[in-house]
A and B are shown apart, each in its own frame.
Chain A
Amino acid sequence: SPPLYDHLFSCLSKENLIPCPHPSMVEKGTNLLRKMEINVVEAEKRTGKNTVNMQETYTVYLIETRPAETVPEGGTPATPDTLWRRYSEFELLRTYLLVTYPYIVIPPLPEKRVSDAYLEGKVKNLYKFKFVWHKLSADNLDPDFVERRRGGLENFLLRVASHSVLSNDEIFFHFLTEGWRERVLETGFQDKADSRLKSLSAMFRVKNPDKRFTALKHYCDELNTVISQLLRVRARVADRLYGVYKVHGNYGRVFSEWSAIEKEMGDGLQSAGHHMDTYAASIDDILEEEEHYADQLKEYLFYTDAVRSVCRKHELIQYELEMAAQDLTHKKQQKEELATGTVRVFSLKGMTSKLFGQESQEQRESRLAALEQSIQEGEEAVKEKNTECQEFVRTAWEDIERFKEQKDKDLREALISYAIMQISMCKKGIQVWSNAKECFNKM
């Protein structure tokens, strides 16, 4: 079987339920990943004073890095460097990357808050089937949530580290090693972030966007909708399947009670009952593993936002170009009017001169000169903007192509791993029912 399959299988067969690094990432072999191994290994609760001087509890994550060298047989790997970071720092890093590399599809972070759907799932299970009561916290300290997030954060770091452009970023390197905070603030990216936020939320109409970006945006909208839908339905399917399995557990009890009044049938019934209990219990692990698939889908759900971001940036630059071009045309018209004396375009100066009498030849010539200057500047601006636009389109599209390939590969692998999970579930089912059948035969 191809090495891909084996890798996936080994990922799934470990009791390791966090998203493991995608093969495509490891294969990429960026300079950074060639030098360094990155893991987010732990999570811990901390308390401290926040910005408004109030006590708060938050979670920090331990980032471990070590030189990526092959360890000889029997040798011990080098001790890793470690540091703690909290979620808000990851957010800061991501914002920095967004602002600094607007033409790159920046990998998404895992969810910030415990979502309603996540809670809903837990409450439903509690009511319906009375399983072990988890401490239901509406905040981000819920242990399951923290664990899933840890995996998501590691995934984020590896995505960045495997990107040919992003992996070379200094700030990113310092995030992983030390002393990044001062450095990142030095870049002054905060101002850029603010203006970016403002511009992205602004409404504007672009006349001639690149058709590819328009199509891409449309595709992202569709993908976002369909993955959201898929995640919702999948959760409902899981909920129902849970019900089916758990009810079978009742057979265990009744067979046991029944076996007590039987002679020859007793043993067979009793043993079969145990298998029914096993069957009912097996669903917990099955669904836990399926969460891994849901996480893979979720990552791409969030990725659609990152792609839409790039499209939006293109529109913004294109809009600025169009505005600049429009402005230039306007000025040129003004100059023409001034030169020929006709008024086609409304201007305040023209209006006032109409009302208050012609201006002198001197005034006209100085105005013309000013306009000429302005036009020249305008032409420069348009040229610059045009270059910026073309450059953006070129580099963005390159990354988008890379992203598309990554997406196709990752999602296909996700589907394969999902199919493997289904097969494993079927095998378990066959095993249990075959065991039960053997017991029934002995009745």
Chain B
Amino acid sequence: MDSAFPYSLFPSFYDPGPPDRNPLDLGGWGKYEHVQPFSVEAGEQQEAELKWSALKSLTQESWEPLEPVAVPLLPAKTVCKFRPVSLEELTYTGRIMTAGERDEMTMGALNFTEQGKARQTAISVNHLRTFTERVKQRECPLSSGSKRARLLNLLLRESVFDIPPNLLAENIHEEMKIQRNKLLFDHSATGGALVYCPFSKGVHFEEGCLIYPGSESMNSLNFRKIKLGLDDDKMPKLSMKFKPVKFKLNGRIHQIDYSTVEEEAYVGVRSDYHCGVWKLSQEVNPSALQVVQMANMATCINVSPHVPGELVIASECGAAYLWILDKGLQKIRKETDNLYFNAQLPWRWCDFTAHPRVYMYADRTGLDLTDVRAGETCNQTLFKIGAAADCQRGERVILPKHLRDVNPYHYLITTQNSAYIVDERFPTVPVLKWVHMMESPPMFAQVACGTVRNRTNKIVLGSQRAQEVLLLQYSGGMQLPCQSFGPPQKLSSIYDMMQHLPVRLPHQHEVVAERLHSAGAGLATLYHCRGKKTLSVFQLSAVGDLFYQMLVRKNSSANGQSVSGASRARVGSNHEPNNSILSKEVQSINHSTEPRLEGAEDLAQGEGERLEVNSSLSGVDEQRVQSFIKQSTNKPSTPSCAALAMCRRWINSFLKKQKKFQSGSDMLHKHSVFSTKRLFSCKRFKKGKESNDAYKEVWDKMKAVMEKKEVLCHSTFPILDSVSVPDLVDPSMWRDELSERLTAAWEGKWSEWWAEKLGVNRDKKIQALRAKRRREKLARAGQRSGLSGSFTSSVSNLSDFSDFSGWSRSSVVDSEHGDYLSGTESNVLSNKSTEVKQSIGTVTEESRQEREVQSNVSVVEQSRTPMPEPILSQEIRLVGIPKERKRILQNYLAALEDHPPQPSEGDDGISWSLPLASSTQMSFAEPSQMASTCEMSWLSSSQSQLGPSQPKKKRARMGF
């Protein structure tokens, strides 16, 4: 019967009080702890019946992983947008030196050899004055990296800071400490955000729903059907073929809990300030039912296993509520202080108990049972940190869990050191205790129970930071007292995958390692106890990766660990099968292995690897190695091909995502500069001098030239033979494809050439053209009046060709447009030119106020010929240019005016526009071939588009 209480419990001392001094931390190895006899009723005689059984029994179900590592369940979906700060970085202990403390600074005054430094450390009073004037304005007057800022900082010290540096430093220290503690332990993830909800179980298959958060900020809730079946080799296999149902929430999901009541699963989801409920069943897709918002940070959500649609939630202020769907919240309890001693910790937890109206309320100091029927006073201690539970000092409750399906009277409680099973019928004294020996406290736990009586229940504990997974087994709690089975077993952690991966580039390796090291966020188990027994463990990491590992029950050696009474008898039978496999595999080792075929194959591989590992260790006794190999292969140590493929797939997907993201962020830092300062150092030449006289000569000459501050060329440095510059190659001479490609490559347009050639960018080009046209059309209306402005900007805006072309194109568009209105282009265009003139007039009117340009403007106004008008507009534009440069520009433009190009009316405006374009682009260098070709090509392309109307258009421009 389910409700039976063990008739005889294991003996133990009871000592209520604070915990003792911490004993030596030895872990829970090699201890029976307590023992009691059980008389087995079958036998006649007393002696045969009596069997002693220990609290920590040695017998155990032996579970072996199918793969030596946890395998990714899904390809990576997210990428971290920034590099997470590591624990080591936050725990720097070296002395942080401020500039003032630096030794060189104090020495500086006496060290005359470093007088040059004075220049570096001095700052002009003018700067100081402007700075102090500007410092009243809120924005920072200096860029932080500048030398001047550093110097000012040294000089002014604390006087200019809003927050005194000492205080600021203290606060930063504090913040770092908080961040570090958060990295070590973040209580918001307690309970875990991953659950597996089984729907139907058959002998060889099982179907259920995996509920997990996804996306970068872990705010999308995924419901995904998964199926456990057998593959062709009769090995259990998970299939994830179904599409997930997704819900987008507006907060990071911290905890997911579910309960199946009356064949409908209720799923509670907790984020920082919201809790929500979903309902699903095998047939019906999940649907959101209700959401509540909390004023304080929510710390817990649990779904009732008794009554459908009931949940409990707790928040940091210490309040716990019963949440009945459609009825709202009902306060169960509120405690402002901690339960058993003043630990001043805000974390609270609550859960259901065996009685639907009694609730468990917990904080870091212990657990309490609250009976809401009898009002708030009816509380009973269930567990408290203290000597009764044999706690250590500093131990705190990390995760309490009601073991609903396993035994409704039982609770699993984890602390930093131990895991306890507590029976609510016998409060305060744990019925079972393990020292779990995990590095970081177990924050996630799942307990799976078999269906048969006298089953062993499996506890899987998962920790947050180190992502360890531990398997514990126990039984009892009904007729028989609780007994643990076998020592704890560690399952492989996510990071173990690393050693089986192919070698990658160091930075990729680093990124992958960092990713695999990210904290845990949840743990789920799928225990299939019919047919071939399997235990699948799913792990969720804080960045949203899902991993799983599958364990299978090894049947032959269930009794393997009990020491039989007969002396000299080999204990345990699991060695024999091993040996037979070993002998078998010696033959099979040479065969090309198709892993997953048989356990033996995997074993063979493992053997090989081990051998390699050991032979690589120098100085290891050969015999020892042999014996070691012979004995120590219990497990396959290399993952199967399928598993490796999954791993590789995951890594590739992750690296692809990472790269994509990085290429985006690298755009910002593209212009890296290489220092060539030390490329030809003096030392090298000196070295050369020693070896060869010729070098010395060169060196001396060079030195001489340099002393004279002359340019090192043939005339000043005659030692070198003059090398004639090869003739310029005219690429237009070479018309074959290869040459064209080489030309393109020379100009850095190799990929574009190929794109052009293959027609890859056709669509893109067409689209770009269309978009451009559309844009221009849109811009037309507004630009019409300010056309001259657009033109001038195209000239002064030094390299901006597109605007220029845009202008000309827009005029074309306009002309097309004009077709509709009047029909004759020339007419329209001439109209247009007058319009432009007028607009320029207005601009000049406006700019007359500008004193600097005024004279020029008047000049322009006097000579109002069509020709110099562009210059006028140029001058208007000069307003924004620094004085010195303005002068140069003006000179240049004046020169242009003196020798205007002689365009023939019939010839086009190209030659006219050329100097303008080249002057702007090539910064007053003589118009080079290159620029002109560019110009040419642009013009030719525009020509092709202009078609027959082109000459007229040019004339229009001449009209200026």
Partners in one complex: no
